[in-house]
Structure 1
Amino acid sequence: MTSPLDRPISGPLRVGVAGLHIECSTFSPHTTHDEDFTVRRGQGLLDLFDFTRRGAAAWAEQVEWVPLVHARAVPGGPVAPATYQRLRDELLDRLTGAGPLDGLLLDLHGAMHVPGHDDIEAALAADVARTVGADCLISCPTDLHGSITEALVTQVDLITAHRLAPHEDEWETRERAARLLVHCLRTGQRPSKAWVRIPVLLPGEKTSTQVEPGRGLYASLAEVEAAPGVLDAALWVGYAWADEPRGAAAAVVLGTDEQAAVTHAGRIAERYWNARDEFVFVGPTGTPQEAVSAAVSAVRRPFVISDSGDNPTAGGAGDVAGLLQTLLDDARLAEGGLETIYASIVDPEAVAECVRSGAGSTVRLAVGGRMDVLHGRPAELVGRVDFLSDSDAPGGRTAVVTSGGVHTILTSRRQPFHHIEDFTRLGLDPFGADIVVVKIGYLEPELRALAADWMIALTPGGVDQDLLRLGHRRLARPLHPFDPELTDPDLTPRLVPPRSAALRGDRP
């Protein structure tokens, strides 16, 4: 009997939309629970994806987008098993209740971690694949910082990743995955999948596409995609802060020609491997003390410091206070009349004390160091409560405490500060500041535009840029840079079996 995927579908299509998206550091003491996820269903889910709007894209005509459930959280520590099970079960229940689907857009990150599982996204994809059956084509957009295994690639029909870091093409990637899904349904194609593991694991701040060699490597993917017999090309740098055997770079090429897919996947892998020693930090780096000294003496302002080791958007706890204490202890800031913004420390107890004291009051607080007790002590903060936000702020109830010229933002929940509005809604003007410190790695676009100059402070935390001092124990070795004497590996791609074969239990 011929599968519907062996013939074109010219009429209306039913395509489900679902996702479970988070990046998890196993070195972070934070645990991700139900309340950390933003969960969308129904029209609220579809509103995330512009191409689902009627008339938004010609390729999406005659597609009924079926919203299932989409859960996304700020990167953090491992997902609590009970939280994962509830979200997974809801997704599978909604898939079962949705009726027959021609396709499914399954939005994953590629670096989720649940204790007891080393490749949870492959397990989730397998559950989804069994639920929808072999006649439903599954397309999976992911983050280029995912660690993508052969097991995951086996359980989906199409998989791709962002091509920019910072991820300015995040939503474009999801649209590309959806567009390719519809194309394959319309043409009856089930692409060949060539996957290759590349034994390199580097932090995102060394593999940014803003600089070489990352810029050129990722730019070349569009050229590969345009080659005869190729439908899509993807390259993942892996997720460096999870101590899992799957941690490594990878490449996947999807194609209508098996040999073309294998050839191009091998070339991508070889280029990445050969460039492994050329990757450098996307900006100047230094110790916390060096970063503060550079900021104090800077001619161009505002000077932005990246507090990189505790970056919540990579999985850090968000409450390591060492760099804040360095600022508070540095008399040069006050002597020079330097206005400094520190964003931020998550500490709901400190915020509650600010609320009790009230705006305009003077408070004496020990802030931070409550979750991540391994990487520093609380900072001693004595200052005036200058601002209190409502509890519906992105970081929950939020306070700004000013000590000398240092404005410290305290949040009740972990919150990234990527946009100018994140500051101005708290009564702070980052453009008027001399120094702005943000818990981040490479700078997101608005912060990059803000910074007249900047430096990455190599601070400790759950996403420490110095991978060798984190203490990985479970990585599949040998692996660069953990094994500097590693000789050239076998980078021969594997043709991953069709999902229908995986569902039958066929061996590759």
Structure 2
Amino acid sequence: MKKLRVGITGIAIESSTFSPHRSTVDDFRVLRGNDLLARYDFLDADWAAEVEWVPLVDARSLPGGAVTEEAYAELSGEILDRLRSAGELDGLFFDIHGAMSVVGRSDVEASLAQEIRSIVGPDVLVSASMDLHGHVSRELVTALDLITCYRMAPHEDAWETRERAARNLVSRLRSGGRPKKAWVQVPVLLPGEKTSTRLEPAKSIYAAVESVEALDGVLDAAIWVGYAWADEPRCQAAVVVMGDDVPLLTKEAERLAQSYWDARHDFAFVAPTGTLPECLAQAVASDARPFFISDSGDNPTAGGAGDTSWSLDVLLNTPAIVDSSLTTLYAAIVDPESVATAVAAGVGGTISVELGGKVDSGPHGPVALTAQVAAVDADDPVAGTAVVLAVGGLRVIVTARRKPYHLESDFHALGLRPREADVVIVKIGYLEPELYDMAADWLLALTPGGVDQDLLRLGHSGIVRPMFPFDADMAAPSLTPEIF
């Protein structure tokens, strides 16, 4: 049996076009050679053993603002150059997010897929693994041979999805058949915090995807929620069902799309919501400890700049937080200047700084803060350096680089014990698994920022209208799939 040659490449970031942050090459972790291959544990599986996996380049970043044209040109240029010099390939595993935006461009994943196709030619099979918060335009689905996405939000099945995409690619290379694809977009654009698969209706809608995949004549099925904080024509939900039985693919793709459309009014936030002052009042009055609050408008893992200071200002002006016996943790604000000042002062020192609001100053400018330096971690692999500033019972984590706080160990590195705190406020949307399991109670604060949950006040102008919820009373769309 001939040994297949399959390339691996990707570029992945989720980009808010409403955030003033700009993502550069420095924001990406770039892997090549054996480091790239080591990222994929499943390459040791039996089904992958008779494949020569050819590492090209993989670049991925924490979500942020739109990527600069210079950064995209450098990263995509390396992908294409390495592809040209890779020799003859049978297939390509294309590991992307699907919601990358580049300043001055539109639908860049589709453009990159088309450039890849122009190099590898029509006979090389290309299989994409995507985040369910990505987008599938007609241009993207036609440039790819296989395409799939996560089925869980939070994304606990991310690696399972990547393996499925690569395994299906190898299977089809062995069987010699390019699958058909039934594709349909659904004019609905909702935030991830309203479409978590932990809750209905997304729970049942996504459970149906596996049952469709199990049908004879179907290879794979996928539903994309889309990414609500980008403003491009491709931004909407989508369904793709792949396989060989075209009538069945068409029927099941339309059924999945219809189920999503029919449920559009039923999607609700993954936790009870309120303004930040309302959430703080409930947290203080509650006996549940630790009580978590999501500061959702500046969530760095959705594309927020990470330095919005609006919520910090609210906290500092809430006596029940700063002037009480409660311990409140706030994670986090990025501000390299303030971090440098704290490091210079050392643990135990007192500093006065203008904190946050320097990148995304729309909701609030820098906040004047006098605080004691409670901790310094100069070796954080993501944040660079992180410090803790103490004001009364409030502990504010400040980082030199943008970092999400999703793990208990992130807090422990700074001497903080979230399980022993009264209130924990995290710049996040839905809580990631460790925090979700830790929280005795939880509220989602509807705060301003580049990933504001109130989509109607963001000012989308580039999406295709009508679109729910922007046009709440729109007529029912045609959901007849196209076959590719």
TM exceeding 0.5: yes
Residues 355 and 367 of structure 2 are in contact (CA less than 8 Å); yes or no, is this contact kept in structure 1? yes
Which stretches in structure 1 are left out of the alignment for 5+ residues? 1-9, 497-508
Match of residue 104, structure 1, among 89, 92, 108:
92
TM-score by length of structure 2 reads 0.99
Match of residue 446, structure 2, among 455, 458, 464:
458
1:434 is aligned to 422
- Cα shift at 1:120: 0.5
1:167 matched to 2:158? The reply is no
Distance 1:87 1:393 in 2: 22
Letter aligned with residue 14 of structure 2: E
Distance 1:348 1:18 in 2: 32
Residues 13-52 of structure 1 aligned to structure 2 (within 5 Å): 13-52=4-43
Letter aligned with residue 49 of structure 1: Y
1:319 matched to 2:307? The reply is yes
Letter aligned with residue 393 of structure 1: P
Residues 480-495 of structure 1 aligned to structure 2 (within 5 Å): 480-495=468-483
2:217 is aligned to 229
Match of residue 282, structure 2, among 288, 294, 298:
294
Distance 1:474 1:37 in 2: 27
May I ask how many residue pairs the two structures share in their alignment?
484
Residues 43 and 49 of structure 2 are in contact (CA less than 8 Å); yes or no, is this contact kept in structure 1? no
Match of residue 328, structure 1, among 288, 293, 316:
316
Q: C-alpha deviations, 1:178-225, integer Å up to 9, x for none? A: 010011011111000111010000000000000000000011100000
Distance 2:11 2:340 in 1: 32
Letter aligned with residue 440 of structure 1: I
Distance 2:408 2:451 in 1: 24
Residues 88-99 of structure 1 aligned to structure 2 (within 5 Å): 88-99=76-87
1:417 is aligned to 405
**Structure 1 stretch 318-327 or stretch 472-481: which is displaced more?**
318-327
- Cα shift at 1:335: 4.8
Distance 2:281 2:52 in 1: 57
2:263 is aligned to 275
Residues 337-352 of structure 1 aligned to structure 2 (within 5 Å): 337-352=325-340
> In structure 1, the residue corresponding to 2:436 is in which secondary structure?
helix
- Cα shift at 1:97: 1.2
Match of residue 237, structure 2, among 249, 259, 263:
249
Letter aligned with residue 421 of structure 1: S
TM-score by length of structure 1 reads 0.94
Distance 1:390 1:131 in 2: 44
1:206 matched to 2:197? The reply is no
Distance 1:301 1:377 in 2: 32
Distance 1:98 1:335 in 2: 63
Letter aligned with residue 300 of structure 2: P
Q: C-alpha deviations, 1:353-385, integer Å up to 9, x for none? A: 112222210111221100001121222322110
Distance 2:282 2:57 in 1: 47
Distance 1:216 1:446 in 2: 24
Distance 1:47 1:302 in 2: 38
Distance 1:286 1:392 in 2: 33
- Cα shift at 1:388: 1.3
Match of residue 365, structure 2, among 377, 385, 391:
377
- Cα shift at 1:391: 4.7
What percent of counterpart residues are identical? 55
Q: C-alpha deviations, 1:29-54, integer Å up to 9, x for none? A: 0000010000001111111111113x
- Cα shift at 1:334: 4.3
Q: C-alpha deviations, 1:305-350, integer Å up to 9, x for none? A: 1000000000000011121222222111245411011000000011
Match of residue 71, structure 2, among 51, 63, 83:
83
Residues 228 and 260 of structure 1 are in contact (CA less than 8 Å); yes or no, is this contact kept in structure 2? no
Letter aligned with residue 416 of structure 2: L
Distance 1:132 1:203 in 2: 36
Residues 12 and 100 of structure 2 are in contact (CA less than 8 Å); yes or no, is this contact kept in structure 1? yes
- Cα shift at 1:275: 0.4
Distance 1:139 1:308 in 2: 33
- Cα shift at 1:393: 3.4
1:70 is aligned to 58
1:150 is aligned to 138
1:6 is aligned to none
- Cα shift at 1:11: 2.2
Distance 2:4 2:302 in 1: 37
1:365 matched to 2:353? The reply is yes
> In structure 2, the residue corresponding to 1:397 is in which secondary structure?
strand
Letter aligned with residue 228 of structure 2: A
> In structure 2, the residue corresponding to 1:167 is in which secondary structure?
coil
Match of residue 403, structure 1, among 391, 397, 401:
391
Residues 380 and 386 of structure 2 are in contact (CA less than 8 Å); yes or no, is this contact kept in structure 1? no
> In structure 2, the residue corresponding to 1:407 is in which secondary structure?
strand
Letter aligned with residue 357 of structure 1: A
Which stretches in structure 2 are left out of the alignment for 5+ residues? none
- Cα shift at 1:392: 4.6
> In structure 2, the residue corresponding to 1:375 is in which secondary structure?
coil
1:446 matched to 2:434? The reply is yes
Root mean square deviation of aligned Cα: 1.0
- Cα shift at 1:61: 2.2
Distance 2:150 2:43 in 1: 20
Distance 1:333 1:240 in 2: 32
Residues 186 and 479 of structure 2 are in contact (CA less than 8 Å); yes or no, is this contact kept in structure 1? yes
> In structure 2, the residue corresponding to 1:276 is in which secondary structure?
coil
Distance 1:223 1:14 in 2: 32
Residues 160 and 177 of structure 1 are in contact (CA less than 8 Å); yes or no, is this contact kept in structure 2? yes
Distance 1:149 1:22 in 2: 17
Residues 299 and 429 of structure 2 are in contact (CA less than 8 Å); yes or no, is this contact kept in structure 1? yes
Distance 1:62 1:268 in 2: 35
